[in-house]
Structure 1
Amino acid sequence: MPAQAHVEPPPVDSTSVFKDDIFKGKVLFCTGGGSGICKAMTEAVMRHGAHAAIVGRKLDRLQASANDLASATGNQCLAVQADVRNPKQLQEAVAKTIEKFGRIDFVICGAAGNFLAPISKLSENGFRTVIEIDTIGTYNTIKATLPHLRASKGSYIHVSATLHYKGTPYQVHVSAAKAAVDATSAVLAVEEGPHGVRSNVIAPGPIAGTEGMDRLSAKGPDAKNFAWATPLGRYGDVKDVANATVFLFSDAARYITGQVIPVDGGCEHLRTEPLPYPQSVLDPDAVAAMIKPRL
């Protein structure tokens, strides 16, 4: 009888590993914190004592998430409307956070955009938009928050991806944007280390139940043939990324900076594609039904 493959059990809550109060008195500023992975990252940090400000473009959705986070953690969460592509709006968001909490200790640069498209069908505007949200948005967030992180000897986490480690079809826009984010974090770590500021990257792999996973997964009856292979036997959970976040912001990681930490169950080493290859690049129209339309 062949051996059965290991299936990694679901992740534990960070509060079962780390002390509840390790971030007491700290403040988190998170772009993209209103949903998905970044909301889970924010919740985990708040569960350990921090207050938070979450930033996004849609205030009603953001306020609902802030209420959820405050109710779940018992700590305060401020919803601040801003577009990361607009430096002035981000500066105003930071000012509101300082007015409310008096400091910023942690920053998560998590605002992002993505969709599937081959280069031949990707518009110049589509490419530019993802670069502006992911790369320029990260830079704008750094610029707006850096004086406060110097003051608090704080720490950045940038949410990236593993797509650019190899050539990933239909992902040129995000691959270019996230490669730039990784490079930006490395320079930030080198320049700001002497000021006491750390900067690291978390690169999630396929995380179940997220908008990103939904957008990048094949659709239709043949979708199961193009699932990502994971050595640990399951897709990731938002808690997996949240737990890495708590570690990297904690004093346990105080000598870790300038690093990229994939949280992907090892799937990058196997790298299966979400669409049939080479058919998807030879005839993009043939796989159109397997791609979620852009909103």
Structure 2
Amino acid sequence: MAPSYFLAPIVDSSSTFKDDIFKGKVLFCTGGGSGICKGMTEAIMRHGADAVIVGRKADRLAASAKELSEKTGKTCIPAQADVRDPKSLKDAVQKTIERFGKIDFVICGAAGNFMAPISGLSENAFRTVIEIDTLGTYNTIKATIPHVRKSKGAYICVSATLHYRGTPYQAHVSAAKAGVDAISNALATEEGPWGVRSNVIAPGFTSGTEGMRVMSGNKSNTADGFSNPLGRFTEIPDLANAAVFLFSPAACYITGQVLPVDGGGEHLRGDFFPYPQSVLDPSSIQKLLKGKL
């Protein structure tokens, strides 16, 4: 009888880190109204930080900020802004400073994704993803860096593992995330002498997120038939734990790194859909494809 397959546990950060590790700290998070970045924000708040979440949709931001405050007992405020617009980001930063007086941590997490072949990808669609992911990361850093220097704080940029190999129908996102990695690495070298650290978290396929919905075509997020050394898809708490660690004093000598959080899946990753059939016959995955924005 074959041995059973190991399934990694899902662990809450409170089982490892002190509750007050971020007491008195302030987090500024783009994309914090939902998904991965909301989960990261919640974890960091549970360990003592107050937070500002930034996004385009005011209603969702307000609801998420209220929920995060109630869950953690800390203060979370919404700041509506578009990361593609430097002025709106600067206004969000100013709102943060007026309320909390400083910024210690920044998560650059605003992102966009859909599936499209290069041959069917409009120039506008490609540009839009670059503007949200890559330019949005740059704009966020530019707006916050004077305050993060003062606090000798840290950045986390949210990337992906798609560009480690050629991933069909993801040229736009792969290019954007490669740029995010490069910006973070340069930031680490430029700002290290000022006491600022910058690292990247690269999620694998993550259950319960918009990215997973896009890639799976609304199929179940269960890992049936999915090859992964640790037996399951990435979960948001896995990414939240990585963020808590990278912002913690335990990571004070870690900067300029890209940390995949994927259960080792990238070492075994094949294609998420049949290859080469899906490339030769795009109609076979038509429901997943979107060529224009």
Q: What is the TM-score normalised by the length of structure 1?
A: 0.95
1:278 corresponds in structure 2 to 276
- How far apart in 2 are the matches of 1:94 and 1:218? 36
Does the CA-based 8 Å contact 2:157-2:180 persist in structure 1? yes
User: Which letter does structure 1 place at the counterpart of 2:5?
Assistant: A
Does the CA-based 8 Å contact 1:23-1:49 persist in structure 2? yes
Q: 211-220 vs 267-276, which deviates more? A: 211-220
1:265 corresponds in structure 2 to 263
Does the CA-based 8 Å contact 1:218-1:226 persist in structure 2? no
2:287 corresponds in structure 1 to 289
Secondary structure at the counterpart of residue 178 of structure 1: helix
- How far apart in 1 are the matches of 2:28 and 2:226? 32
Does the CA-based 8 Å contact 2:117-2:291 persist in structure 1? no
Give 1:2 shift: 1.6
- How far apart in 2 are the matches of 1:243 and 1:226? 25
2:175 corresponds in structure 1 to 176
What per-residue deviation string (whole Å, max 9, x for no partner) do you get for residues 192-229 of structure 1? Answer: 000000000000001111111111114679x9999642
Does the CA-based 8 Å contact 1:160-1:201 persist in structure 2? yes
- How far apart in 2 are the matches of 1:31 and 1:227? 34
Does the CA-based 8 Å contact 1:199-1:258 persist in structure 2? yes
User: Which letter does structure 1 place at the counterpart of 2:130?
Assistant: I
Change (3 A) 1:47 1:65: same
- How far apart in 2 are the matches of 1:147 and 1:225? 43
Secondary structure at the counterpart of residue 69 of structure 2: helix
Secondary structure at the counterpart of residue 28 of structure 2: strand
Give 1:284 shift: 1.1
1:50 corresponds in structure 2 to 49
Give 1:16 shift: 1.2
Q: What is the TM-score normalised by the length of structure 2?
A: 0.96
1:189 corresponds in structure 2 to 188
1:19 corresponds in structure 2 to 18
User: Which letter does structure 2 place at the counterpart of 1:289?
Assistant: K
Secondary structure at the counterpart of residue 3 of structure 2: coil
- How far apart in 2 are the matches of 1:197 and 1:238? 26
Change (3 A) 1:208 1:19: same
User: Which letter does structure 2 place at the counterpart of 1:45?
Assistant: I
Change (3 A) 1:214 1:220: closer
1:247 corresponds in structure 2 to 245
| Residue 114 of structure 2 is aligned to residue 115 of structure 1 | yes
1:214 corresponds in structure 2 to 213
- How far apart in 1 are the matches of 2:214 and 2:278? 16
- How far apart in 1 are the matches of 2:81 and 2:66? 18
Give 1:236 shift: 1.3
Does the CA-based 8 Å contact 1:105-1:152 persist in structure 2? yes
Change (3 A) 1:290 1:32: closer
Q: 266-275 vs 49-58, which deviates more? A: 266-275
2:60 corresponds in structure 1 to 61
| Residue 102 of structure 2 is aligned to residue 98 of structure 1 | no
Q: 264-273 vs 277-286, which deviates more? A: 277-286
- How far apart in 2 are the matches of 1:144 and 1:88? 9
Change (3 A) 1:227 1:192: farther
1:2 corresponds in structure 2 to 2
Matches within 5 A, 1:28-177: 28-177=27-176
Give 1:176 shift: 0.1
- How far apart in 2 are the matches of 1:59 and 1:199? 28
- How far apart in 2 are the matches of 1:147 and 1:197? 11
Change (3 A) 1:278 1:255: same
Give 1:286 shift: 2.7
- How far apart in 2 are the matches of 1:182 and 1:69? 28
Does the CA-based 8 Å contact 2:24-2:49 persist in structure 1? yes
What per-residue deviation string (whole Å, max 9, x for no partner) do you get for residues 238-288 of structure 1? Answer: 000000000000000000000000000111001122221111111212321
User: Which letter does structure 2 place at the counterpart of 1:19?
Assistant: K
What per-residue deviation string (whole Å, max 9, x for no partner) do you get for residues 2-44 of structure 1? Answer: 22221112x2211111000010000000000000000000000
Does the CA-based 8 Å contact 1:217-1:291 persist in structure 2? no
